[in-house]
Amino acid sequence: MGEALKTYILVEVGDELILIDKHAAHERMNFDRLRAQERHIPAQSLLSPVTLRPSGDDAELLEANADVLRELGFEIEPFGAADYIVRAVPSGMDEGETAAAIEEICDKLRRGKALGEQAVWDELLHTVACKAAIKAGWDTQPEELEVLVGAVLSGAVKYCPHGRPVSVTVTRRELDKLFKRIV
């Protein structure tokens, strides 16, 4: 049917109205795709590299986890005394998300010491999938929305990587009750 609030896709199926969170659905599709690629995510070079100045702890994490970051699709190197330059990010990620993604990855690496290797990898993939996903508030092409709808209606996408549902179904009867058409 369309899109509401540049966030939710509206789909009518029989006597049901399905609302799909476009970000959550796209994030799940990204996560599943990235996880299937095993331990190497393609990188996209940035036309204009991004310069970061991480805290001392984050700088140590970047240094200690350079191989993991490379597997995630990031190309990061020291740049001067306290800065780092990011020359590539995971394919499909908006370069405007670079600093936030690196900060979140460092946070997850810091907390991940108590987790197993696969759990840490999944947490890192969650970040990359989220940062590469369509955002609420963005204008989205109808073709992109159709892909998301197809994935949700087929049952391939039910929950975002964090466990939130990607869709909600409201029946005609429930709507009629809301509008006091029936009791």
Instruction: Give the model confidence (pLDDT) of 8-61 as tens digits.
Output: 999 999 999 999 999 999 999 999 998 888 778 889 999 999 999 998 789 988
12, 1 contact by CB (below 8 A): yes
Spatial separation of the C-alpha atoms in residues 175 and 140, rounded to whole Å: 27
pLDDT higher than threshold 90 for residue 118: no
Contacts of 12 (CB under 8 A, 6+ apart): 1, 18
Q: Mean per-residue pLDDT for 110-134?
A: 81
63, 70 contact by CB (below 8 A): no
Q: Mean per-residue pLDDT for 154-163?
A: 94
**Beta pairing, strands 83-90 & 2-4:** unpaired
Q: What is the CA radius of gyration of the chain?
A: 20
Q: How confident is the model at residue 116 (pLDDT cuts 50, 70, 90)?
A: low
Is 41-132 in CATH node 3.40.50.150? no
Residue 114, pLDDT score: 56
| Mean pLDDT over the full length of the chain | 91
Percent of the chain with pLDDT over 90: 63
What's the CA angle centered on 70, arms 66 and 74, to 5 degrees? 105
Domain ranges of the chain: 2-34+136-178, 41-132
Q: What are the structure tokens assigned to 118, written together?
A: 């696969």
What's the CA angle centered on 103, arms 97 and 108, to 5 degrees? 120
Q: Mean per-residue pLDDT for 135-151?
A: 95
Phi, psi of 32 (to 5 degrees): -60, -40
pLDDT higher than threshold 90 for residue 65: no
Residue 19, pLDDT score: 98
Superfamily of domain 2-34+136-178: MutL, C-terminal domain, dimerisation subdomain (3.30.1540.20)
DSSP characters for 27-82? Answer: HHHHHHHHHHTTT---EEEEEEEEEE---HHHHHHHHHTHHHHHHHT-EEEEETTT
